[in-house]
């Protein structure tokens, strides 16, 4: 418990301290966010706000994790997965912001990188003596052995989670606050399940998010960009895989899942009928266009995640 607290506080302090250093640099380099014209009109004023601020969280997580990395292999793996996804996001942001190519990396380029990372963590987990090919079933103390289906399912979970978090990052503080709650959940669960290293790593994510929220909450001084959202998605996915809790992601990561499903349903329905189910996707924009202020939508999603975290606790037999 003491190490978890230390990791959370250290990561928070690093994030708070380097924010005022990184943000002016991003402003000076003119790494500003481009806002879609077809998006909510209230977002137009955000044009030019510095992006790629996920560097702040990545740095805080990396430095803090190094202080404890020598003690736990799982922590090292989780950190590598997080930084690897963050690197994909960083390259994507660089192409969009610096090279002025709006689409960034091609979809297939991002997918190939994500699949490789997903395969590495899936193979590692499948061959780990204390993880293997079993998944904890929610609301029971039973485990489901997937055998040969474990690796493809886990790759799907890793890639899907990373992209779902990426889609959630559309309002000031939304993805940051939701992931803060999710990371706190994994910190408590990992500690209770005996995954000390992963508990510490979860603390570094929670601390980094909490510190970054100071600069990312409405009105945001900086956006995390794909650099941050992909890194956070990788972190959540890695924690779920290494704690054998992939089946819990639809619950604890319910906001991520609903955001992703809203996009899939919107696109699919439009292609089939030429009509839209929502005013705009992802879901958070739909609620904005219905007249809800951005902060109201964000706080509502934070509350929903907190409730889902409590339900997820009930779904664990250790509590």
Task: Classify 139 in phi/psi space as left (phi over 0), alpha (psi -120 to 50) or beta.
Answer: left
Euclidean distance between CA atoms 11 and 201, whole angstroms: 10
Residue 245 CB contacts under 8 Å (≥ 6 apart), including other chains: 135, 136, 189, 239, 252
Q: What angle do CA 202, 237, 67 make, to 5 degrees?
A: 35
**CA dist list (Å): 222 to 25, 36, 174, 210:** 11, 17, 13, 14
- Asked whether residue 172 is marked as a ligand-binding residue, the answer is no
Angle between helical axes of 2-28 and 196-216 (0-180°, round to 10): 40
- Asked if 278 contacts 224 with a C-beta cutoff of 8 angstroms, the reply is no
Residue 6 CB contacts under 8 Å (≥ 6 apart), including other chains: none
- Asked if 114 contacts 162 with a C-beta cutoff of 8 angstroms, the reply is yes
- Asked whether residue 166 is marked as a ligand-binding residue, the answer is yes
- Asked if 75 contacts 216 with a C-beta cutoff of 8 angstroms, the reply is no
Residue 99 CB contacts under 8 Å (≥ 6 apart), including other chains: none
- Asked if 116 contacts 234 with a C-beta cutoff of 8 angstroms, the reply is no
Binding-site residues from annotation? 166, 226
Binding-site residues from annotation for Mg(2+)? 166, 226
């Amino acid at each position: 418990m003491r190490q978890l607290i230390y990791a959370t506080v250290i990561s928070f302090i690093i994030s708070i301290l380097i924010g005022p250093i990184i943000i002016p640099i991003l402003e000076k380099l003119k790494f500003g966010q481009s806002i879609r014209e077809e998006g909510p009109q209230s977002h137009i004023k955000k044009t030019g706000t510095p992006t790629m601020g996920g560097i702040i969280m990545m740095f805080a997580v990396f430095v803090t994790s190094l202080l404890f990395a020598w003690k736990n292999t799982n922590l090292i793996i989780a950190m590598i997965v997080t930084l690897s996804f963050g690197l994909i996001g960083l390259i994507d942001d660089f192409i969009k912001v610096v090279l002025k190519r709006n689409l960034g990396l091609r979809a297939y380029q991002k997918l190939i990188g994500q699949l490789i990372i997903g395969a590495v963590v899936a193979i590692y987990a499948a061959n780990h003596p204390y993880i293997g090919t079993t998944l904890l079933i929610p609301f029971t103390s039973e485990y489901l052995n997937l055998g040969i289906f474990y690796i493809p399912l886990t790759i799907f979970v890793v890639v899907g989670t990373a992209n779902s978090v990426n889609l959630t990052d559309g309002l000031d503080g939304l993805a940051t606050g939701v992931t803060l709650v999710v990371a706190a959940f994994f910190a408590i669960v990992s500690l209770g399940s005996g995954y000390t290293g992963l508990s510490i790593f979860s603390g570094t994510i929670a601390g980094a998010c909490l510190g970054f929220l100071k600069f990312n909450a409405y009105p945001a001084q900086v956006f995390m960009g794909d650099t941050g959202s992909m890194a956070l998605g990788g972190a959540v996915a890695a924690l779920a895989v290494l704690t054998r809790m992939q089946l819990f992601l639809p619950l604890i990561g319910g906001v991520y899942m609903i955001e992703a499903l809203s996009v899939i349903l919107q696109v699919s329905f439009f292609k089939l009928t030429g009509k839209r189910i929502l005013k705009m996707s992802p879901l958070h924009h739909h609620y904005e266009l219905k007249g809800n202020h951005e902060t109201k939508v964000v706080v509502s999603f934070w509350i929903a995640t907190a409730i889902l975290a409590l339900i997820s606790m009930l779904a664990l037999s250790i509590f």
